[in-house]
């Protein structure tokens, strides 16, 4: 019996995020490398001798490293918080007299408020915020006392605020911003403990465990990425960002989606394609010796590795593209017949 109770109380999956080596800018040998995940980790759980190494005994699963990773090399299951928001979707917008938290609500595990619970609000990613706007669901994000938290830390509210800002930059082309409230927990809404006798202790424990399990967002371990499948190379986070651009803008509408363009100083070397963490840039050498560079815009995470690594600095990041470009393969460079 106790095994089942303790499983309900605490076994929600492995807190360590999935690491996909081919998406890591350090493994790709991008110029300057990348240590953003290591900088973001408040527990010193990440080392980068060449690839990312996470100490599972030090990792709390807060998600700050995932929020910081520019290429999707570190991931949690994005569908779990997405489903939690969608489940709470209400019919239409709340009325003027509706409660402040009408809509969807995600709370951190230290907040003591009721609601769909994440281990830490740093698990909230751009795609979740974008999806709340696509579904027209006001979203409330509640954190606990981050300054005293041993799971996340004092940087969590600022990191989540940056996520919200980025989500609404991406959603600007839809003319419907995500309605997000980020706030600390309200002690008045804290749950009240149940006082029980020794005889009733185990029954209360089991009931409490079932309640915790019902409110906690499932945290399923992710399978390894099969790099032989091109569609799996694009992180789920960025796939959902594209899907969450709803209502769909007109094809010619400018969409914020930073991605590379190539100028005429390109020397046709393979560096940009080699360092691209999602293989969004493809390079082909034709029979006549010409070289073409193509970009799958939807697969580009905007990590900037290609621009930083380009030997002649021929690559620059363009912030806005036509909405319909997300469904196209864009020709970045055609060198012409270099054998003539």
Secondary structure of the chain as H, E, C letters: CHHHHHHHHHCCCCCCCEECHHHCCCCCCCCCCCCHHHHHCCCCCEECCCCCEECCCCCCCCCHHHHHCCCCCEECCCHHHHHHHHHCCCCCCCCCCCCCCCCEEEEECCCCECCEEECCHHHCCHHHHHHHHHCCCCEEEEECCHHHCCCCCCCHHHHHHHHHHHHHHHHHHHCCCCCEEEEECCHHHECCCCCCCCCCHHHHHHHHHHHHHHHECCCCCCCCCCCCCHHHCCCHHHHHHHHCCCCCCCCCCEEEEEEEEECCCCCCCCHHHHHCCCCCEEEEECCCCCEEEEEEHHHCCCCCHHHHHCCCCCEEEEEEEEHHHHHCEEEEEECCCCCC
- Top-confidence residue, 223 or 168: 168
How many whole angstroms separate alpha carbon 212 and alpha carbon 8?
A: 8
CATH 3.30.70.20 domain position(s) in the chain:
249-334
pLDDT at 38 exceeding the cut of 80: yes
pLDDT of amino acid 130: 98
Q: Which residues pair with 14 in a beta bridge?
A: none
pLDDT of amino acid 15: 85
Q: How confident is the model at residue 339 (pLDDT cuts 50, 70, 90)?
A: low
Domain 249-334 sits in CATH 3.40.50.300: no
Sheet containing strand 281-285, edge to edge, reads: 281-285, 291-296, 329-334
Cα atoms in the 13 Å half-sphere on the side-chain side of 95? 2
How many whole angstroms separate alpha carbon 233 and alpha carbon 219?
A: 22
Q: How confident is the model at residue 209 (pLDDT cuts 50, 70, 90)?
A: very low
pLDDT at 163 exceeding the cut of 50: yes
pLDDT of amino acid 191: 60
pLDDT at 337 exceeding the cut of 50: yes
CB 309 within 8 A of CB 31: yes
pLDDT at 207 exceeding the cut of 70: no
How many whole angstroms separate alpha carbon 332 and alpha carbon 287?
A: 19
Range of lowest pLDDT (74-83, 90-99, 311-320): 90-99
pLDDT at 198 exceeding the cut of 70: no
CB 300 within 8 A of CB 257: yes
pLDDT tens, residue by residue, 252-274: 999 999 999 999 999 999 999 99
pLDDT at 244 exceeding the cut of 80: yes
pLDDT tens, residue by residue, 85-101: 999 985 344 444 445 45
CA-based torsion, 181, 184, 186, 190: positive or negative: positive
CB 232 within 8 A of CB 225: yes
Range of lowest pLDDT (104-118, 122-136, 274-288): 104-118
Mean pLDDT, the chain, whole residue set:
86
CATH 3.40.50 domain position(s) in the chain:
75-215
pLDDT of amino acid 210: 45
pLDDT of amino acid 50: 87
Domain 75-215 sits in CATH 3.30.60: no
pLDDT of amino acid 70: 98
How many whole angstroms separate alpha carbon 121 and alpha carbon 14?
A: 17
Q: How confident is the model at residue 188 (pLDDT cuts 50, 70, 90)?
A: confident
How many whole angstroms separate alpha carbon 242 and alpha carbon 171?
A: 10
What percent of the chain has a predicted confidence (pLDDT) above 70?
83
pLDDT of amino acid 268: 95
User: 231 φ, ψ to 5°?
Assistant: -70, -20
Cis, peptide link before residue 17, omega less than 30° from 0: no
pLDDT at 83 exceeding the cut of 70: yes
CA-based torsion, 84, 13, 8, 122: positive or negative: negative
């Amino acid at each position: 019996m106790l095994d089942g109770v303790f499983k309900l109380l605490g076994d929600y999956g492995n807190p360590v995020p999935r690491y996909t080596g081919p998406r890591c800018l350090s493994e790709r040998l991008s110029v300057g490398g990348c240590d953003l995940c290591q900088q973001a980790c408040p527990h010193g759980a990440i080392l980068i001798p060449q690839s990312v190494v996470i100490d599972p005994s030090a990792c709390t699963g807060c998600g700050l490293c995932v929020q910081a990773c520019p290429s999707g090399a570190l991931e949690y299951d994005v569908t779990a918080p997405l489903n939690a928001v969608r489940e709470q979707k209400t019919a239409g917008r709340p009325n003027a007299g509706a409660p402040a938290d009408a809509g969807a609500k995600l709370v951190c595990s230290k907040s003591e408020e009721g609601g769909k619970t994440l281990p830490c609000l740093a698990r909230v990613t751009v795609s979740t915020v974008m999806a709340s706007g696509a579904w027209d669901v006001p979203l409330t994000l509640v954190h606990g006392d981050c300054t005293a938290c041993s799971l996340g830390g004092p940087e969590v509210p600022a990191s989540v605020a940056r996520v919200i800002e980025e989500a609404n930059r991406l959603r600007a082309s839809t003319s419907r911003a995500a309605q997000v409230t980020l706030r600390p927990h309200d002690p008045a809404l804290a749950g009240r403990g149940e006082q029980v006798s020794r005889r009733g202790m185990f029954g209360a424990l089991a009931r409490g465990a079932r309640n915790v399990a019902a409110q906690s967002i499932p945290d399923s371990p992710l399978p390894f990425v099969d790099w032989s499948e091109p569609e799996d190379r694009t992180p789920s986070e960025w796939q959902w960002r594209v899907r969450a651009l709803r209502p769909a803008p007109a094809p010619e509408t400018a969409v914020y989606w930073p991605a590379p363009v190539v100028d005429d100083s390109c020397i046709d070397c393979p560096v940009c394609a080699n360092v691209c963490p999602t293989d969004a840039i493809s390079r082909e050498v034709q029979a006549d010796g010409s070289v073409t560079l193509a970009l799958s815009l939807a697969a580009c995470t905007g990590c900037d590795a290609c621009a930083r690594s380009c030997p002649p600095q021929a690559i620059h990041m363009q912030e806005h593209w036509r909405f319909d470009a997300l469904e196209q393969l864009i020709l970045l460079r055609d060198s012409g017949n270099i054998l003539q």
